Structure 1
Amino acid sequence: MGEDVPAQEFTRADRTRHREKVRRNLDVFARMLREAQFDTDDPLTGLEVELNLIDETGDPAMRNADALEAIADAAFQTELGQFNIEINVPPARLREGGLTTFEDGLRRSLNHAEERSSAIGAHLVTIGILPTLDERHLRPDSISANPRYRLLSEQILNARGEDIAISIAGAERLATTSESILPEAACTSMQLHVQTSPDSFAPYWNASQAIAGVQVALAANSPYLLGRELWRETRVPLFEQATDTRSEELKAQGVRPRVWFGERWITSVFDLFEENVRYFPALLPIVHDDDPMRVLDEGGIPALAELRLHNGTIYRWNRPIYDVAGGTPHLRVENRLLPAGPTVVDMMANAAFYFGLVRAIAENDRPLWSQLSFRAADENFHTAARDGIDAQLYWPSVGQVPVTELVLRRLLPMAHEGLRSWGVAPEVGDRLLGVIEGRCLTGVTGAGWFSERMHRRGGMERFDALRATLLEYREAMHSNEPVHTWS
């Protein structure tokens, strides 16, 4: 959920000062893109994984503070709901065995965390939406203790002026309301980071947008919410609605949502930050005392704190990141659209597919986005979230095609090529992309596996079936065998 902020109230004057400061940040950022030396020589990649906590019966364990104290590892942090935590995996270079480093480190860390947290009755589960959540788990008193979360919830509800409405129609239908942003906590994701140069940011972001639908279709793992079977990746419509600051009237006027696929291909990272400032009022108008232009004039590297915090409250599925590490600025594409789970090897296969395919497409001489309309990319994304691996997507020169056929015939070879360009060892790429191939051949994802198991339990009370299936899922999760091989 981003950096910590203290509990506070904001005045109209605060918002005026913030608008002036964030626009000054934007001017400085534009100058830095022209003049500054960004860290581009040897790009890093990274990942974060959000986790759910459950008790012995499969119900949510509202004990993230206790779990974090038991785990006692700075890599694990709080998240929005008391049934969430997050792990930040140290960045690595793919050419130096980064995928293996991620996989080994993530397994080791999760095993250690499970051993510690299970001692207090809180077990870790990697899944896109915890299926045993019910309405009582999503009340305001379930927000984590960090003041940032309650403050952000208050600001979103104040901006909206009414309770948040959730309405999703899939295999079944859900319609409910919430007096906080707690439904967002139901969405647990894996986030991938790719560092780029200023010149290559636009191709990598455009490529990430173009393949978003394919990624979601292959990784869908969120079929149930509040006892209803909805979309294969229900996390997508839920996240879009759970942080929506717009009333129905503002939606009708065409005001842009804060969870946003976007509306156009870009030519520069500046396009995205400029849209953020132009289209979205601040939710957290915190102003620092520094003068970023003076810092730059004096040879320093501006933090651009207001611009970064504002960017953190606009939830693009592929988000631009400006950061400073070791006194040097850098840019990253943050790919935020994948669900967590089912297993570490499944998540690493998703990572390998993304890192390989995005590089192959971004560095192709003929840009894919010159052949694919932005609207088609958006439609692919939402179709894939609804239908999962059974989706039919639009692809240039092919037309409508089953996503499995598209991946097997066209995209897997490109992903292999991209991993070779990154310097990934062939045996590593073959093993991880082999998991993607296996999913396509069997048609099995986490969402499909879970739903099929639930249908077998059709005679049980719904939440009893959800608990039983989740415990079965958790047991298979610990095998670290790819989900398409689960019995």
Structure 2
Amino acid sequence: MGEEVGRTTYNREQRREYRRKVQLCLDVFETMLARSNFDCDRRLTGMEIECNLVDADYQPAMSNRLVLDAIADPAYQTELGAYNIEFNVPPRPLPGHTGLALEAEVRASLNHAETKANSGGAHIVMIGILPTLMPEHLTDGWMSESTRYAALNASIFRARGEDIPINIAGPEPLTWHAASIAPESACTSMQLHLQVSPADFPANWNAAQILAGPQLALAANSPFFFGHQLWSETRIELFTQSTDTRPEELISQGVRPRVWFGERWITSIVDLFRENLRYFPSLLPEVSAEDPVAELAAGRSPQLSELRLHNGTVYRWNRPVYDVVNGRPHLRLENRVLPAGPTVVDMLANSAFYYGALRSMSEADRPLWTQMSFAAAHENFLAAARYGMDARLHWPGLGEVTTQELVLDTLLPMAQEGLRRWGVDAEVRDRFLGVIQGRAETGCNGARWQVSTVRSLQDRGLARPAALAEMLQRYCEYMHANEPVHTWPT
């Protein structure tokens, strides 16, 4: 979850002071960038995994407080929904055998958490959208106990002034109206962090934007919502709509959504923070006591709390992050594209593919973003979300290609070379990129497996709700076996 806040409502004076303070923070941030005093000696990586809780019947279990108390590990925290928890993996460098050690560590931690959850009758599921979640689950008691979440809900609906329409196309289109931000809680993801220097940030962000489409096509794992088969990665469109502060009139005027891919390549991390202030009113105008100018003048690293809080309510798929650890400031690129699951090995394969391809792209002599329009990268992203492995993507020098062709012929070699530059051992590269190769060759990701399994169960006579529950039970069994999703039987 993001940082907690102290209240759920704000007056005019607080909003005015917050606007002044967040601009001051940005001014101080630019001064810090000019002085180049950021921690970038070690390019650490990090990971957050959002999970769902289900009961013995594989229905949502609104028991995260009990489960977290049982786990009793600060690495596990609440998320928006009472049926969500988040696992924060400690940061580490990429080189050597780190990936294999990380796989063992994440599996051991999640297995321990699952055992603790079982003591209260719950199971942990890593999946993009819980397929058994239905409208009746999001009426009462769905939200975690948190002032931040209550304040976000109140601010979004105060800005809209009306319910949020959820309209998603697909094989079984869905139309629904939300009286709260509850549908956002359905969207559970894996977030990847990379610590970078100020000078390297623009190239890495631009590369991540180009990579977002292929990433998503490979990893889609959210085909069902409220019992409807929608997009391969429905989470992308559902998250966009469920946090939309714009009534129809503002949408017609071209006002930007808070869940935002962006609209141009950047030359500095400041470009992103400036856009945040220019385009998006504050949702949580919480004012801290810190004087960032005085902190910087005293030789300390300011927290820039207002800037960070505002940044946390602009939901970019690749988000800039400023943070201070042990008194030293650093910058991170947070990749928010991927869904959670299906297995630990699948998620680490997704991360290896991302970090490897990102390294090669960001260091290319002739960067891809000089050969490709930003609009084309955005179109790739939306096509990947909608069609998954069946998406056709535009790529410089290739034109329009299938996801399979792009991954196998272009991106996998790029990822292999990037991981080699990171110093990742061959055994690690082969294990995780071998999973990506198998997934691309078979065309089977989590979304395709879910749809095929539900279709097979319905062909055998099960009604859709029963088929979804049975599919989810099988999914959990295979998830714990940690075999890649492209090898799962349907």
Question: Shorter-chain TM-score: what band?
Answer: over 0.9
Alignment correspondent of 1:471: 473
Alignment correspondent of 1:190: 190
Identity level (%): 58
Tell me the SS of whatever aligns to 1:236: helix
In 2, Cα distance between equivalents of 1:53 and 1:288: 35
Superposed, 1:407-426 pairs within 5 Å as 407-426=407-426
Tell me the SS of whatever aligns to 2:49: strand
* 1:140 to partner: Cα distance: 5.0
Alignment correspondent of 2:485: 483
In 2, Cα distance between equivalents of 1:322 and 1:206: 18
In 1, Cα distance between equivalents of 2:92 and 2:289: 34
* 1:141 to partner: Cα distance: 2.9
State the superposition RMSD in angstroms. Answer: 0.9
In 1, Cα distance between equivalents of 2:260 and 2:39: 28
- Deviation track 1:418-442 (CA, whole Å, cap 9, x = no partner) reads 0011111011011100000000111
In 2, Cα distance between equivalents of 1:133 and 1:365: 47
Structure 1 counterpart of 2:328, one-letter code: T
Tell me the SS of whatever aligns to 2:420: helix
* Contact 2:36–2:198 (Cα < 8 Å) also in 1: no
Tell me the SS of whatever aligns to 2:413: helix
* Contact 2:343–2:482 (Cα < 8 Å) also in 1: yes
* 1:249 to partner: Cα distance: 0.4
- Deviation track 1:137-161 (CA, whole Å, cap 9, x = no partner) reads 1225311012211111111111111
Superposed, 1:225-374 pairs within 5 Å as 225-374=225-374
Alignment correspondent of 2:215: 215
Equivalenced residues, count: 487
In 1, Cα distance between equivalents of 2:119 and 2:29: 48
Alignment correspondent of 2:455: 455
Alignment correspondent of 1:121: 121
Alignment correspondent of 2:385: 385
* Contact 1:140–1:179 (Cα < 8 Å) also in 2: no
* Contact 1:303–1:323 (Cα < 8 Å) also in 2: yes
Tell me the SS of whatever aligns to 2:41: coil
* Contact 1:140–1:182 (Cα < 8 Å) also in 2: no
Structure 2 counterpart of 1:378, one-letter code: H
- Deviation track 1:371-412 (CA, whole Å, cap 9, x = no partner) reads 110000000000000000111100001000001111101110
* 1:40 to partner: Cα distance: 1.0
Structure 2 counterpart of 1:478, one-letter code: H
Structure 1 counterpart of 2:483, one-letter code: E
Which segments of 5 or more consecutive residues in structure 2 lack a partner in the other structure?
A: none
Tell me the SS of whatever aligns to 2:332: strand
Which segments of 5 or more consecutive residues in structure 1 lack a partner in the other structure?
A: none
In 2, Cα distance between equivalents of 1:427 and 1:96: 9
* 1:4 to partner: Cα distance: 1.3
* Contact 1:92–1:101 (Cα < 8 Å) also in 2: no
* Contact 1:286–1:306 (Cα < 8 Å) also in 2: yes
Structure 2 counterpart of 1:466, one-letter code: L
* 1:96 to partner: Cα distance: 4.7
Superposed, 1:84-163 pairs within 5 Å as 84-139=84-139, 141-163=141-163
* 1:461 to partner: Cα distance: 1.7
* 1:7 to partner: Cα distance: 3.0
* 1:102 to partner: Cα distance: 2.4
In 2, Cα distance between equivalents of 1:210 and 1:19: 32
Tell me the SS of whatever aligns to 1:478: helix
Q: Which runs of 4+ in 1 moved over 4 A?
A: none
* 1:288 to partner: Cα distance: 1.1
* Contact 1:276–1:311 (Cα < 8 Å) also in 2: yes
In 1, Cα distance between equivalents of 2:487 and 2:232: 19
In 1, Cα distance between equivalents of 2:104 and 2:252: 48
Alignment correspondent of 1:397: 397
Matched, 1:70 2:78: no
In 2, Cα distance between equivalents of 1:244 and 1:8: 19
* Contact 1:283–1:313 (Cα < 8 Å) also in 2: yes
In 1, Cα distance between equivalents of 2:340 and 2:98: 19
In 2, Cα distance between equivalents of 1:99 and 1:249: 48
In 1, Cα distance between equivalents of 2:141 and 2:58: 21
TM-score in terms of structure 1 length: 0.99
